[in-house]
Chain A
């Protein structure tokens, strides 16, 4: 009997061409489909209740025409898309650079093959060779199976752009994913983890859909906590007209644990230098899940930042530690919703530094602002208050690759910590590995994909933990702060996750503060006498 059963088991995967390997929607690897109410809230097409693991996706009858027409329009609109469709020579430089491929081993997670899912349909419908020669030139009909494959794999790309760093032609695979997701949205095939926050953000200004009083409640909570730890009561203001600066953070820093400790760090810095700033309960979200939906949705959600800055009459905008918010601000905002002529070129009121690079967007990253304060000796710092932490730094993909913010966070960390250890060179800076959950993939139902995709990052953290005893992973992104704790729990237990400004908040010596016995989390301080370890 046992022999009989055993003889039927084939442990080897079938040898099939990638084109002939259909997608299997195994639980743990895909996200729930967008709910009807999420799509209706922002007028996106084909709202209905559906699930990706069911046979019938309830597509509109002319779904194929809609998608092909959508692709045609975008090929005309975006010259980059046409180039990215035609120029790839399949050299394979990108193939093994994707964290999802490295962690899963699924060939369709190779950036070149993921893009090929779109290219094959492009060839079939938009090139002469593809129309005539078909499969011989890698062309493919657009069928429902292909559509399902698009959904599966384009929601397994976190748009981190690591592969693009290695592409000799500079093909930006994230842009292809963005287009593919736009197309999927034309027939109502988004995931709810993106569509829900988009709908909430459109209605109330933040991903959680929390209203102004709830936003204020949470900030007040942070203020109370800070008073307990430092003895100093900071006084943020809300929607205050005439403030010099509007500060916008990702809402995860206000509502989530451990993000709120980073928010506390921001509040302490602003208080200490006497910044004339205000928070907005309407522009209460730095993040922009429109980026993961369509260009139009990104523009719509981003518009609130400038609209609120104009309404309040501030001079410029300061932005918090967010990831993809900076991809939007740095690369799209100015041409989508700018120029913001009603704002002024940002100048630090404390140091007088002109932030030339933000001349057009009028928006400065808080790491640039704080690094400048430290450089000018405007903050009194006691790095010994972070001695209980042996820190490494995860370059969050978007600040690192989309805006080149590499030195400022490191300069800050070295100023506020005495034990800092870099991860290996091919896992940081421009080559940083994604957390595995970016671009709206930080749902819980796809946890397996997240843990697979995060493995290369976790593997590098494990290396510095074993070598230097690292117990703190600092990062510069709210999604990182939400998703790296579970990643660490699975792969590298004993490493906690911190925002850079939480570390600043620990070290910052405030005028009139009481003697601190704990860090912002209430953990006891543990000053060591040994040498600095930077």
Chain B
């Protein structure tokens, strides 16, 4: 378990680099704000991202269950699913962790102190996270559309109730009321 031990030891450094990667998706001045403002209410995006990445790193090292990973990913993906990021860009930060770990532990890997097998196992877990994140992303996008539909229903609630009372179809009523 040399890899896990090494990562645990360099957890802080890896987290900061991972945070750089995730926040690098935002314009420079925004990334600076998201990184430096520590008040969770003044900076919910930065706070959620940092907290989520911290948790995910812990999850990778501890090998706990899927539910925990889902909750941690949700905290970040739910935000990115809404922002001006393509699906690929929104989720790329997860896959980029693999490269980041290889870079951070390059010397150990080179010296053969970390086995390829260990690396592959960890990277498979990262891939698993990426797939899970993809599910969450799609669910969030679908939810946005469901919310839009529900809002339309809510908005026309009064009109359809009046229509029912007067025995009119909603279209007839709309014509009559000019809405």
Interface residues, chain A, CB within 8 Å of chain B? Answer: 9, 11-13, 15, 24, 26, 28-29, 95-96, 101-107, 200, 203-204, 208-211, 214, 217-218, 221, 254-257, 424, 426-427, 444-445, 447-448, 451-452, 455-456, 459-460, 463, 482, 485-486, 489-491
B25 touches A255 (CB 8 A): no
B42 touches A447 (CB 8 A): no
Chain B: residues with Cβ within 8 Å of the partner, total of 46
CA of A200 to CA of B177 in the docked complex: distance in angstroms?
A: 10
Nearest-neighbor residue (CB-CB) of A109 within chain B = B30
CA of A426 to CA of B43 in the docked complex: distance in angstroms?
A: 11
Q: A13-B27, A102-B45, A107-B29 are in contact. Are A447 and B148 (CB under 8 A)?
A: yes
Contact with A along B25-37 (1 / 0, CB 8 A): 1111110011001
Q: A26-B84, A489-B147 are in contact. Are A209 and B178 (CB under 8 A)?
A: yes
New A-B contacts (17) at CB < 8 Å, excluding given A444-B155, A455-B82 = A105-B30, A203-B178, A208-B159, A209-B177, A254-B158, A256-B157, A256-B158, A257-B157, A426-B42, A444-B148, A445-B148, A448-B82, A456-B41, A486-B150, A489-B143, A490-B140, A490-B144
CA of A102 to CA of B39 in the docked complex: distance in angstroms?
A: 12
Nearest-neighbor residue (CB-CB) of A485 within chain B = B154
A455 touches B179 (CB 8 A): no
Contact of B44 among A214, A257, A455 (CB under 8 A): A455
- List 22 A–B pairs whose Cβ atoms lie within 8 Å, in order of A's numbering: A9-B88, A11-B88, A12-B25, A15-B28, A95-B33, A96-B37, A103-B44, A104-B83, A104-B84, A105-B26, A204-B178, A209-B179, A257-B154, A444-B152, A447-B151, A448-B144, A451-B144, A455-B79, A463-B41, A482-B155, A486-B150, A490-B78
CA of A255 to CA of B157 in the docked complex: distance in angstroms?
A: 8
- A-chain residues with CB within 8 Å of residue B34 when the two chains form the complex: 105
CA of A308 to CA of B151 in the docked complex: distance in angstroms?
A: 32
- A-chain residues with CB within 8 Å of residue B96 when the two chains form the complex: 11
B177 touches A103 (CB 8 A): no
B25 touches A13 (CB 8 A): yes
- B-chain residues with CB within 8 Å of residue A486 when the two chains form the complex: 147, 150-151
A11 touches B177 (CB 8 A): no
Q: A103-B45, A209-B179, A424-B41 are in contact. Are A214 and B147 (CB under 8 A)?
A: no
Task: Give chain B nearest CB distance to A9 CB in angstroms.
Answer: 7
B41 touches A444 (CB 8 A): no
Interface residues of B in 52-106 (CB under 8 A from A): 78-79, 82-84, 88-89, 92, 96
- B-chain residues with CB within 8 Å of residue A254 when the two chains form the complex: 158
CA of A485 to CA of B41 in the docked complex: distance in angstroms?
A: 20
- B-chain residues with CB within 8 Å of residue A95 when the two chains form the complex: 33
Question: Is B165's beta carbon under 8 Å from chain A?
Answer: yes
Q: A9-B88, A210-B179 are in contact. Are A456 and B44 (CB under 8 A)?
A: yes
Task: Give chain B nearest CB distance to A275 CB in angstroms.
Answer: 25
Task: Give chain A nearest CB distance to B36 CB in angstroms.
Answer: 10
A256 touches B79 (CB 8 A): no
Q: A26-B84, A257-B157 are in contact. Are A208 and B179 (CB under 8 A)?
A: yes
CA of A426 to CA of B33 in the docked complex: distance in angstroms?
A: 17
A96 touches B33 (CB 8 A): yes
B162 touches A455 (CB 8 A): no
- A-chain residues with CB within 8 Å of residue B143 when the two chains form the complex: 489-490
B84 touches A106 (CB 8 A): yes
- B-chain residues with CB within 8 Å of residue A104 when the two chains form the complex: 83-84
- B-chain residues with CB within 8 Å of residue A96 when the two chains form the complex: 33, 37, 42-43
CA of A426 to CA of B37 in the docked complex: distance in angstroms?
A: 14
B27 touches A459 (CB 8 A): no
CA of A15 to CA of B26 in the docked complex: distance in angstroms?
A: 10
Contact with A along B158-170 (1 / 0, CB 8 A): 1101100100000
Q: A11-B88, A209-B178 are in contact. Are A451 and B82 (CB under 8 A)?
A: yes
Task: Give chain A nearest CB distance to B116 CB in angstroms.
Answer: 20
Contact of B30 among A12, A107, A218, A447 (CB under 8 A): A107
- B-chain residues with CB within 8 Å of residue A13 when the two chains form the complex: 25-27
Nearest-neighbor residue (CB-CB) of B150 within chain A = A486
Task: Give chain B nearest CB distance to A26 CB in angstroms.
Answer: 7
B147 touches A459 (CB 8 A): no
Contact of B25 among A11, A257, A485 (CB under 8 A): A11
A221 touches B161 (CB 8 A): yes
- A-chain residues with CB within 8 Å of residue B161 when the two chains form the complex: 221
Nearest-neighbor residue (CB-CB) of A445 within chain B = B148
Nearest-neighbor residue (CB-CB) of A493 within chain B = B143
- B-chain residues with CB within 8 Å of residue A211 when the two chains form the complex: 177
Pick the most buried of A104, A218, A445: most chain B CB atoms within 10 A of its CB: A104
- B-chain residues with CB within 8 Å of residue A489 when the two chains form the complex: 143, 147, 150
Pick the most buried of B28, B92, B96, B177: most chain A CB atoms within 10 A of its CB: B177
Task: Give chain B nearest CB distance to A272 CB in angstroms.
Answer: 26
- A-chain residues with CB within 8 Å of residue B179 when the two chains form the complex: 200, 208-210
Task: Give chain B nearest CB distance to A190 CB in angstroms.
Answer: 19
- B-chain residues with CB within 8 Å of residue A424 when the two chains form the complex: 41
- A-chain residues with CB within 8 Å of residue B152 when the two chains form the complex: 444
A444 touches B43 (CB 8 A): no
- B-chain residues with CB within 8 Å of residue A452 when the two chains form the complex: 82-83
- B-chain residues with CB within 8 Å of residue A218 when the two chains form the complex: 158, 162
Question: Is B40's beta carbon under 8 Å from chain A?
Answer: yes
CA of A255 to CA of B143 in the docked complex: distance in angstroms?
A: 25
CA of A104 to CA of B26 in the docked complex: distance in angstroms?
A: 9
Contact with A along B1-39 (1 / 0, CB 8 A): 000000000000000000000001111111001100101
CA of A12 to CA of B27 in the docked complex: distance in angstroms?
A: 9
- A-chain residues with CB within 8 Å of residue B178 when the two chains form the complex: 200, 203-204, 209
CA of A217 to CA of B163 in the docked complex: distance in angstroms?
A: 11
Q: A96-B37, A107-B27, A257-B154 are in contact. Are A210 and B82 (CB under 8 A)?
A: no
CA of A482 to CA of B154 in the docked complex: distance in angstroms?
A: 9
Pick the most buried of B28, B140, B151: most chain A CB atoms within 10 A of its CB: B151
